């Protein structure tokens, strides 16, 4: 069996939490080793606003 899966099932979760921070707090309350990641969405530009502005001018 994969070592990390075996470790998960035999020794319990050790968690990297990506997203909702409340889940990390709930895990820490249960004394689970947890690290919260400061995840950000990939940088992308939106042109919706310029489209909206154009529509308003029409």
Partner 1 sequence: MQRLEVMPRTYYDSITLMRVAKEITGMEGIENASLSMGTEANLRILAAAGFDLSEINVTPNDLVIAVSGEDAVLDEALSKAKEYLANPPWKKEGGKSESYKPRSLDGAISVLPEANIAMISVAGRYAGDVALDCLHRGLNVMLYSDNVPLEKEIEIKKLAREKGLFVMGPDCGTAIVRGVAMGMANICPTGPVSIVAAAGTGLQEVHVQLAKRGVGTLHGIGTGGRDVRAEVGGIMVEMATERLLEDDEVEVLVVIGKPPAPEVEKKILERISRGDKPAVLGFIGGESRGDRDGVYICTELEETAAVAAALAKGEDVAEARKELDSAEESLRELAGKHGPRKGWLRGLYSGGTLCYEAQVIAKELLGPIHSNTPLKKDLKLEDSLTSVEHTIVDFGEDEFTQGRLHPMIDVSLRAGRFVEEAKDPGVGVILFDVVIGYGCNPDPARELAEGVLKAKAVAGDRIAFVASICGTETDPQNAARQRSILEDAGVLVCESNARAARLASYLLKG
Q: Does 58 bind partner 1 (CB under 8 A)?
A: no
How many angstroms separate the CA atoms of 58 and 8, rounded?
59
How many angstroms separate the CA atoms of 34 and 37, rounded?
10
* Residues from 38 through 57 that contact partner 1 (CB under 8 A): 38-46, 48-49, 52-53, 56
How many angstroms separate the CA atoms of 24 and 8, rounded?
17
* Residues from 14 through 33 that contact partner 1 (CB under 8 A): 14-30, 32-33
How many angstroms separate the CA atoms of 48 and 51, rounded?
5
Q: Does 11 bind partner 1 (CB under 8 A)?
A: yes
Can you give the binding site for partner 1, defined by CB under 8 A? 1-2, 4-5, 7-9, 11-30, 32-46, 48-49, 52-53, 56
């Amino acid at each position: 069996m994969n070592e990390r899966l075996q470790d998960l099932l035999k020794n319990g979760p050790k968690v990297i939490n990506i997203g909702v921070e409340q889940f990390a707090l709930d895990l820490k309350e249960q004394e689970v080793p947890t690290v919260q990641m400061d995840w950000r969405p990939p940088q992308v530009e939106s042109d919706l606003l310029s489209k909206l502005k154009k529509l308003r001018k029409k």
